[in-house]
Structure 1
Amino acid sequence: MNKYLLNISRKNIVLAAAAVATTLCYMQCSPKVTPTTASGATPTAAATPNTTPQLDQSKGLKDYFKDYFLVGVAVGSRSIQQDSALMIREFNSVTAENDMKMGVIHPTEDTYNWKNADNIVAFAERHKMKIRGHNLLWHTQAAEWMFVGPDGKPASKELLLKRLKDHIFAVAGRYKGKIYAWDVVNEAIDDTQDSTIVYRTGTTKTQKPSQFWGIFQSPEFIDAAFRFAHEADPKAKLYYNDYSSERPAKREKIFKVVKRLKDNGVPIDGVGFQGHWTLNIPTASQLRTALDQIISLGLDVQFTEVDVDVRVPQRPSGPPANGAAPTATRPAATTPDVDAGYTPEIEARQVAQYKMIFDILKEYKKHISSVTFWNVSDRASWLDGRGTGGAAASQTGPRTIRKAYPLLFDVNGQRKKAYWAVVNK
């Protein structure tokens, strides 16, 4: 090599070395900026969910989340017989799916059906499980006799208030010291996009109105229910419970209602986010925003009815724009939901959604005291007999079974990949 080429080669080596040194200095000396969420916490890094089964099969959800929150399940008399072993292994809290609702437990003024509710409470006590009460006031599965006066006309406000107090004192009083938390009022808030309508007043035709509102014409019955529940069992934690809590329009209404309760000195301890979710709702941002709003009021959060429906509604015009909530105002020509089975693609999407949700729940563990799944396994979910979306069991007319596959246990009661995605680190 001649001297000219040798000098050029040496210069290139020097320049290359200088470039490397500059890059290393920039990487090592530049200030590090850590992103935070609205709550001030560091967001969980996106990662491929770890669905590898743990070697210790004796541990359950209650063990994996013992440092985070209670993990519960909604049950009936049949499920505590068929699924008792799975329930005992996995959960440390139970909710009566239907057996404590007003119309079920108190069908006539002089009749109470205590048997099923008593069996659920006894099962939980035998296995040292906490018990959530669900619910004391709801416009669906209500006791229709409550709204009718002695003359056959609509009951007066004073009569309905007395009947409501008697009911709450009887039910909450019977389980005083056994039920640690009550969903006192369930789904009293309008879920349309109209921000001017806060309560189920009957002014919109897209949802079932509240008969309580029809008689009171004000939220007085909501305040009264919380006060009665607190009198009946002063140590029980009291919650307002509703669905679509993460969707902007409903979220703002819930915030307005519970803030009014708290500002007026009504005894409320927290908000129940039902958590009837889908493969794309909620988003991480929606969930965090909803949590941050309730936390800002100093209230606790419990996720009370968790499931992730895998069914995708088939709409002629496609899904709502900008991730808006599907409502009863969607086109009348909506076709039936398609049950494509629990395919690998659907499974992967459900796994990712469950992981995202539980990563956030763990992040907010100081503000969440309980997470309850609505039913035990995919073998039998309340969703199977309903269309997609929504929450309340108020659907009427013929029902066609279309599997929703919404839970962490499959139709045989075996742990799904979504189970391992939420418990693995």
Structure 2
Amino acid sequence: MSRLAKIVSGIMAGAVLILIVAILIVNRSDPNEPAQSDIPSLAVEYADFFPIGAAIEPSQTNGLKAGLLKKHVNWLVAENVMKPDSIHPAEETFNWSNADKIVAFAKENGMEIRYHTLVWHSQVGAWFFKDSEGKPMVDETDPVRQKANKKLLLERLDTHVRTIVDRYKNDIKSWDVVNEVIEPADPDGMRASEWYKIAGIDYIATAFQAAREAGGPDIKLYINDYGTDDPRKRDLLYDLVKKLLDQGVPIDGVGHQTHIDVYGPTVESIIESMRKFAELGLDNIVTELDMSIYSWNDRSDYGTVIPEEILAQQAKRYGELFQAFRDHREILSGVVFWGIADDHTWLNGFPVKRTNAPLLFDKQYQAKPAFWSVVDPSVKTD
């Protein structure tokens, strides 16, 4: 072969290689494509019942997790970045970037957003509860100064709520205004937080009123709590909400966190709580759904291989739960999972560090038996 022929042959071989690489690049999977693209969409399957949501972090707006979210949910809530200490860490400082990222992702993908949470006893800046001299308000014993501290705290709260609601009122219609204010073991059944010790229930009323005034009549305002299936806690929350409603406080609904496990509580107790609040003319939302594979007082660990019978038990229970949700959709306006897949869940570290699997997708983003029992009621999980 002549030197020229060798050169031409080499050029042609190189061109073929380039063409092959180009074809592979064009035809490769979208990095944001969900791991299983050929399965039903949760959001689509429940379009005739209620929206399906998930809690996310800003880092999950790219990659495979983003693909999973875009396929299966039409409602988002920030897991942490809209909580008080993240968005308002100091009196004169608001951090909007992470919250804005989740809002932008939702809007780009045609999803609605819930706000969680304007007021909480946890993940809140200590500055809220310092007096004008920088001393802890809860330590004050002088009645005159206590009154001044309460006024200062409620003014700070009013500014906090109005500033956030004003920024997002056109993008977010569903708001957790106050979170976890009931604690049966504390005096009067109210959580003995710094909010309550300094301002009584006036802080709850102030937060709702400020949110309504800043956001207008079209946003929906919720009081959110866990364990609402427990009759004692449910009734304490009911009495509080009724009292506030009688005072003209603008509460639109109750958020039921619904952190449950494969053993309890009963599905009926969850629905009964919703019925009770519906009697007040209030909406109900399941705001933080997950299902631990361990009972509440169990500290054991299955390790990396979860028994098939436990996953089947979880599937059966998820199926029963969503059947009840569908049957009572007239008193339930949405269901939000506290995550989307088992690789990212607070239950991997609470109450002890271990393997948990509380969601519908596993750590590899594959649909679990629980997914199929939710999307297809005819699936048998016995």
- Normalising TM by the smaller chain, what interval? 0.7 to 0.9
Q: Aligned-pair distance for 1:56?
A: 8.8
- Residue 253 of structure 2: aligned partner: 270
Contact 1:136 1:184 in 2 (8 A): yes
User: Any stretches of 5+ residues in structure 1 without a counterpart?
Assistant: 1-54, 202-209, 316-335, 388-399
- Residue 417 of structure 1: aligned partner: 369
- Residue 44 of structure 2: aligned partner: 63
Matches within 5 A, 1:314-393: 336-340=299-303, 341-387=305-351
User: Any stretches of 5+ residues in structure 2 without a counterpart?
Assistant: 1-35, 138-148, 378-382
Which of 197, 222, 226 does residue 239 from structure 1 map onto? 222
Contact 1:375 1:381 in 2 (8 A): yes
Task: Report how many aligned residue pairs link the two structures.
Answer: 328
Is 1:96 equivalent to 2:59 in the alignment?
Answer: no
Is 1:256 equivalent to 2:247 in the alignment?
Answer: no
Q: Aligned-pair distance for 1:171?
A: 0.9
Is 1:401 equivalent to 2:353 in the alignment?
Answer: yes
Matches within 5 A, 1:215-230: 215-216=198-199, 218-230=200-212
Contact 2:181 2:190 in 1 (8 A): yes
**Partner secondary structure for residue 109 of structure 1:** coil
Aligned pair in 2 of structure 1 residues 410, 191: CA closer, same or farther (>3 Å)? farther
- Residue 167 of structure 1: aligned partner: 160
TM-score by length of 2: 0.83
Q: Aligned-pair distance for 1:313?
A: 5.3
Distance 2:127 2:343 in 1: 35
- Residue 41 of structure 1: aligned partner: none
What per-residue deviation string (whole Å, max 9, x for no partner) do you get for residues 119-169 of structure 1?
Answer: 000000001100000001000001210100221223401111111011111
Instruction: Give the percent of matched residue pairs that are identical in Structure 1 and Structure 2.
Output: 38
Contact 1:314 1:338 in 2 (8 A): no
Q: Aligned-pair distance for 1:349?
A: 1.2
Q: What is the identity, as a one-letter code, of the residue corresponding to 1:80?
A: T
Q: Aligned-pair distance for 1:383?
A: 1.0
Q: What is the identity, as a one-letter code, of the residue corresponding to 2:301?
A: V
**Partner secondary structure for residue 197 of structure 1:** helix
Q: Aligned-pair distance for 1:110?
A: 1.4
Question: Bigger relative contact order, structure 1 or 2, given CA contacts below 8 A and separation 6+?
Answer: 1
Q: Aligned-pair distance for 1:80?
A: 1.7
- Residue 43 of structure 1: aligned partner: none
Matches within 5 A, 1:178-217: 178-192=171-185, 197-201=188-192, 210-216=193-199
- Residue 392 of structure 1: aligned partner: none
- Residue 131 of structure 1: aligned partner: 113
Q: Aligned-pair distance for 1:401?
A: 2.6
Q: What is the identity, as a one-letter code, of the residue corresponding to 1:258?
A: V
Q: Aligned-pair distance for 1:281?
A: 1.6
**Partner secondary structure for residue 118 of structure 2:** strand
**Partner secondary structure for residue 289 of structure 2:** strand
What per-residue deviation string (whole Å, max 9, x for no partner) do you get for residues 217-273 of structure 1?
Answer: x21110111000101101210000000010111111111111112222211110000
Contact 2:275 2:331 in 1 (8 A): no
Distance 2:87 2:354 in 1: 29
Q: What is the identity, as a one-letter code, of the residue corresponding to 1:279?
A: V
**Partner secondary structure for residue 123 of structure 2:** coil
Q: What is the identity, as a one-letter code, of the residue corresponding to 1:60?
A: S
**Partner secondary structure for residue 135 of structure 1:** coil
Structure number with greater Rg is 1
**Partner secondary structure for residue 371 of structure 2:** helix
What per-residue deviation string (whole Å, max 9, x for no partner) do you get for residues 1-51 of structure 1?
Answer: xxxxxxxxxxxxxxxxxxxxxxxxxxxxxxxxxxxxxxxxxxxxxxxxxxx
Q: What is the identity, as a one-letter code, of the residue corresponding to 2:262?
A: L
Q: Which moved more, 1:148-157 or 1:122-131?
A: 148-157
Q: Aligned-pair distance for 1:59?
A: 3.3
Greater share of helix residues, 1 or 2?
2
Distance 2:361 2:161 in 1: 35
